[in-house]
Structure 1
Amino acid sequence: MINEKNENKQNQEVEMETAGRVGLRLGKVSELTVIAPLKEGGAERLRKKLSNNPDQMEVMARIATVHDMRWVIFDDDKRLLFATAYDGDWDAYIDDFGTKIPELLDHFFSEVVDYPGINDPTIKDFIAKHQVTATGWYCAYPNSTVRDIWRGERSLKAFNDLIDAVQGY
């Protein structure tokens, strides 16, 4: 699948390539999927952690390269699937976790067996050990970073506000 060409709606060809150490990149966007065992009782604790803090998603937005993140507890509460799409390279993305939201990542992933902590020197080896490169992956906007999308949304809002003002809404 690596180096396959894909054509998006804007007829711009982008090639599937490696995101760095592990994972795929399509254009400017990369994918990361981790499957890891949970500690005894970790599934229930993680469910509570993910649902108890309404501000946690705002904290995630501190990493302005994150398109999305998903946590899925499966296999009778024994394993966690963590999947995300992000802008750029693998190493830089993992470094962002350690510098921008270390407490939050440690809060969630402390329920994973043998999780060393986001600032532990072995964290990248730990993630790579549990990461699985996607077999198939679709990215609707491979040439648009999160910042590009935010800029587009602000531009569209400003344009719509102008049109509304001219039309007297």
Structure 2
Amino acid sequence: MEIKPQAVVIPKETDQLEQGKYGPVYPRTPACYGFTIIADVKPGRAGAIRDYGNTLAKALEGDPQLLAPLKLHYLRWVLFDDDTRFMYQGIFDTDFDKYTEDAIALFSKAGVSTAFENLEGFPEDWKTNPEAFIRFVREHHCPSFIEYGEYPYFTADEIKKALRIKNSLSEMLDQLQ
């Protein structure tokens, strides 16, 4: 089976897209699903966002499966415009509605906060008011208009499985030498 890179253009108008619980369901692309949020940072809170990034990195060292329920491929956080604006970009295997519901459940269950608490307009009651959390994300979402995948439509689980097989084969071949 030959894997060919692919790109998909996402329409600017979302009227024709299927509507989910919280708005349009953007199509699965060769890069799977994802969203980009850009929001203003509360004055003086950029350091807290950076600290939260360090806390998250340390938590993942202790429990590499911490974010597994989110089915993430990649997560990217960027502070820009002299640390006054924040970009959150995630690529994952589930649709928007499921991802955001899973994120709220994961953080609420773990009793942890989110870096989003440092953003202007983020609802203080986000743990008990998922609709407010989702409304914030939707209002700050900057949809992409084209998405590309070098290994299109493969899930994170499929990629990890392929890598486990590759490693097993490498180990087996090493033992034969």
Normalized against structure 2, the TM-score is what? 0.76
Q: Which residue of 2 aligns with 1:49?
A: 52
Q: Which amino acid aligns with 1:132?
A: C
Q: Which residue of 1 aligns with 2:116?
A: 109
- After superposition, residues 70-149 of structure 1 pair within 5 angstroms as 70-102=76-108, 106-116=113-123, 117-120=126-129, 121-149=131-159
Unaligned runs of 5+ in 2: 11-16
Q: Which amino acid aligns with 2:40?
A: P
Q: Which amino acid aligns with 2:94?
A: G
Confirm or deny: 8 A CA contact 1:33 1:84 kept in the other structure.
Answer: yes
Normalized against structure 1, the TM-score is what? 0.79
How far residue 85 of structure 1 moved from its aligned partner, in angstroms, is 0.6
Q: Does 1:153 align with 2:159?
A: no
Superposed CA deviations along residues 82-124 of structure 1, whole A, max 9, x for unmatched, are: 0011113111111110122345873311111121225423211
Q: Does 1:67 align with 2:73?
A: yes
Q: For 2:174 and 2:128, locate their aligned partners in 1 and report how far apart those are by CA, in whole Å.
A: 49
How far residue 25 of structure 1 moved from its aligned partner, in angstroms, is 2.6
Confirm or deny: 8 A CA contact 1:66 1:86 kept in the other structure.
Answer: yes
Q: For 2:85 and 2:111, locate their aligned partners in 1 and report how far apart those are by CA, in whole Å.
A: 19
What is the number of residues matched between the two proteins?
159
Confirm or deny: 8 A CA contact 1:16 1:25 kept in the other structure.
Answer: no
Q: For 2:137 and 2:159, locate their aligned partners in 1 and report how far apart those are by CA, in whole Å.
A: 28
Structure of higher RCO (CA pairs closer than 8 Å, 6+ residues apart): 2
Q: Which residue of 1 aligns with 2:34?
A: 31
Distance of aligned partners of 1:38 and 1:53 in 2 relative to their CA distance in 1, 3 Å threshold:
same
Aligned CA RMSD, in angstroms, stands at 2.7
Q: For 2:145 and 2:121, locate their aligned partners in 1 and report how far apart those are by CA, in whole Å.
A: 26
How far residue 55 of structure 1 moved from its aligned partner, in angstroms, is 2.7
Q: For 1:104 and 1:81, locate their aligned partners in 2 and report how far apart those are by CA, in whole Å.
A: 24
Q: Does 1:10 align with 2:3?
A: yes
Range with bigger deviation, 44-53 or 74-83: 44-53
Unaligned runs of 5+ in 1: 1-8
Q: For 2:76 and 2:112, locate their aligned partners in 1 and report how far apart those are by CA, in whole Å.
A: 13
Q: Which residue of 1 aligns with 2:14?
A: none
